[in-house]
Amino acid sequence: MTTTERVALSAIFNGRPAEPSRMITGERMAAVDANAAALGVPQKQLMESSGHAVARAIREIADPGARIVIVAGRGNNGGDAFVAARFLDAYDVTTLLLGRAELIGTDIARENWDALEQADYDTREVTDSSALTPDSSAFDLSEADVIVDAMLGTGISGDLREPAATAAAAINDTDATVLAVDVPSGFDADGGDHASNGVEADHVVTFHDTKPGLDDLDAELTVADIGIPAAAERFAGPGDVTLARPQSRDGRVFVIGGGPYTGAPALAAQAALRAGVELSFVAAPESVAGEIQSYAEDLIVQPYGSDRLSPDQADDLAETAERHDDIVVLGPGLGTADETLEATRQFLASYTGAAVVDADALSVVPEIDTEATLVCTPNRRELARMGGPDTDSLRDAVDEIEAFAADLGHVVLAKGVDDVITDGDRTRICRSGTPGMKVGGTGDLLAGIVAALLEETDPLEAATAGAYVSGIAGERLADSDALGVLASEMLDEIPAALWGETDA
């Protein structure tokens, strides 16, 4: 079947006009799901939609009265199928759970299992997967017209382990039509690989968007709309934080800043430490190194012999950052002296690693060809000076900012009341924060947080999560009408904003 036919088929199932769907990884899907929950659409509601979509697909391929066997795992993929069973009263349905019901892994899947039991549906726990093999008399899978594969969804990677492996072999052995829920069990929705011992499906009903690699399988694919609001993808939320949250204390941030100003590099470097990096370095002129160090004993300040950054230091700094695989923050407090701007040009021309570019260093980015991976963090004024739109409301200028980022070839995090984060293709808006955060130093904080998150994830995700976390750090300090927040106070709130409950 061609992609166009698949899209057309999915339109029939969804009852909406065919439109080419985008691709989403399983990991990002979980983030969008968490964002939806924070917007008031809880996952149990999405599970209900998913189950309903599976039932609709079954009605397309099997006549009433047909024998349907659901083989479910103990995760949410199984939960979707428990829901589907309730929509299939016109069929002869048996739901098999691989394992014991007490071990169902999530509340929402368990609640849907309990509902089946209490409503007297035909449910069975399979504690010994050999019960499913063809020579077993315990359960005859071969009687099924349709087998629903709801063992494993987007929560897995690698070859199937037992009992799923035996069950998959038994399913593949039958002549029944196999319909997979979300992905065929064994399919890695992040990498697009299919385990060699995975389920071979004839139909796949996947949710929200197709997943990488699904289109290449020899199966009929339906993409079902399950009612996730577009805002769950568009607006930064707690799911974005989960994606970018550091899992271990790791990595080094290298702030190149200071000269005319000293607070800015110190704030950026401290924010990176608060956001999980192991070491935070500041390369700064000798004349101000002591002052920067005096703000925080946690920083490692590396002085160079001049009053301000100049081309003499550029190659050395790029070489040092690359040797240690540092994430660079370029710009805080550097000033706009000609020789400093020349030094930032030279640095970016030779540097090939990752960097957050902020403040005075931003103006050179449009003129420079660089192999570095950059996240540029302009405020309104800096964005206009770089050649982007000049606007009061970044949100109204989203399309222009997106086009600007596409042209620039780097991720842009434009800072305003609502931040706009874009790589020129994918674009997000961040609404967290308080009016009081319109104070000196919060931009430096954000640069440091994004740098730390770049250790963990890709530039767009790091910038999105960084913007959200910085806003939550501000919200934690003050009611939205309190205008006295200080960036230095926000530092202490970063860990809770990043690792605490962010969806309250």
Ligand X SMILES: NC(=O)C1=CN([C@@H]2O[C@H](COP(=O)(O)OP(=O)(O)OC[C@H]3O[C@@H](n4cnc5c(N)ncnc54)[C@H](O)[C@@H]3O)[C@@H](O)[C@H]2O)[C@@H](O)CC1
Residues that bind ligand X (CB under 6 A): 29-30, 33, 43, 46-47, 50, 73-77, 79-80, 105-106, 152-156, 158, 160-161, 164, 181-182, 207, 226
Is the CB of residue 432 less than 8 Å from the CB of residue 467? Answer: yes
Is the CB of residue 74 less than 8 Å from the CB of residue 97? Answer: yes
β-partners of residue 373 are: 354
Site string for K ion, 91-130 (x = CB under 5 A): ----------------------------------------
Report the partner that residue 149 touches, choosing among ligand X, K ion, none (CB closer than 5 to 8 A by kind): K ion
Amino acid identity of residue 311, one-letter, is: P
CB of 311 to ligand X, least distance (A): 50
Residue 182 known to bind ligand: yes
CB of 229 to K ion, least distance (A): 25
Looking at the Cβ atoms of 166 and 464, the one nearer to ligand X is 166
Annotate 149-203 with DSSP letters as a single string. Answer: EES--TT--SSPPTTHHHHHHHHHHS-SEEEEESS-TTB-TTT--B-TTS---SE
β-partners of residue 98 are: 126
Residue 326 known to bind ligand: no
CB of 109 to ligand X, least distance (A): 7
* Tokens standing for residue 179: 């319909």
Give residue 252's Cα distance to chain centre. Answer: 22
Strand arrangement, sheet containing 279-285 = 300-304, 279-285, 252-256, 327-330, 354-357, 373-376, 411-414, 419-422, 427-430
Query: Residue 128 burial by CB count (10 A; 0-12/13-18/19+): exposed, middle or buried?
Result: exposed
CB of 292 to ligand X, least distance (A): 44
Looking at the Cβ atoms of 41 and 408, the one nearer to ligand X is 41
Q: Give the Cα-Cα-Cα angle 423, 242, 383 (nearest 5 degrees).
A: 30
149 contributes a contact to K ion by CB under 5 A = yes
Site string for K ion, 51-90 (x = CB under 5 A): --------------------------x-------------
* Tokens standing for residue 45: 């509601």
Residue 259 known to bind ligand: no
> At which residue do the structure tokens 């549906």 appear?
121
Annotate 425-450 with DSSP letters as a single string. Answer: SSEEEE----GGG-STTHHHHHHHHH
d(CA 59, CA 74): 25
Residue 78 known to bind ligand: yes
Is the CB of residue 87 less than 8 Å from the CB of residue 64? Answer: no
Number of residues lying near K ion (CB under 5 A): 5
d(CA 336, CA 349): 18
Report the partner that residue 106 touches, choosing among ligand X, K ion, none (CB closer than 5 to 8 A by kind): ligand X
Sole window of 182-190, 233-241, 357-365, 463-471 interacting with K ion (rule: CB under 5 A): 182-190
Report the partner that residue 158 touches, choosing among K ion, ligand X, none (CB closer than 5 to 8 A by kind): ligand X
Residue 488 known to bind ligand: no
- The helices-and-strands tally (H runs, E runs) of the chain is 18, 16
Looking at the Cβ atoms of 77 and 379, the one nearer to K ion is 77
Task: Return the residue of 180, 364, 472, 491 that touches K ion, per CB under 5 A.
Answer: 180
Report the partner that residue 180 touches, choosing among ligand X, K ion, none (CB closer than 5 to 8 A by kind): K ion
CA distances from 347 to 343, 426, 468 (A): 6, 28, 29
Residue 44 DSSP one-character state: H
CB of 201 to ligand X, least distance (A): 13
- Given the DSSP bridges, would you call strands 300-304 and 279-285 parallel, antiparallel or unpaired? parallel
Task: Return the residue of 25, 177, 185, 442 that touches K ion, per CB under 5 A.
Answer: 185
Looking at the Cβ atoms of 83 and 180, the one nearer to K ion is 180
CB neighbours of 385 closer than 8 A, spacing ≥ 6? 362, 363, 378
181 contributes a contact to K ion by CB under 5 A = yes
Amino acid identity of residue 254, one-letter, is: F
Report the partner that residue 204 touches, choosing among K ion, ligand X, none (CB closer than 5 to 8 A by kind): none
Nearest to 382, CA basis, from 360, 401, 399: 360
β-partners of residue 328 are: 254, 355
Residue 79 known to bind ligand: yes
Residue 358 known to bind ligand: no
Sole window of 50-58, 62-70, 175-183, 406-414 interacting with K ion (rule: CB under 5 A): 175-183
Sole window of 9-17, 173-181, 217-225, 351-359 interacting with K ion (rule: CB under 5 A): 173-181
Question: Closest residue to ligand X, Cβ-based?
Answer: 153
Looking at the Cβ atoms of 227 and 435, the one nearer to ligand X is 227
Please give the annotated binding residues for AMP, written as ranges.
443
Please give the annotated binding residues for (6S)-NADPHX, written as ranges.
76-80, 153-159, 182, 264, 333, 444
| Residues at the site binding K ion, with contacts judged by CB under 5 A | 77, 149, 180-181, 185
Please give the annotated binding residues, written as ranges.
76-80, 149, 153-159, 182, 185, 264, 333, 443-444
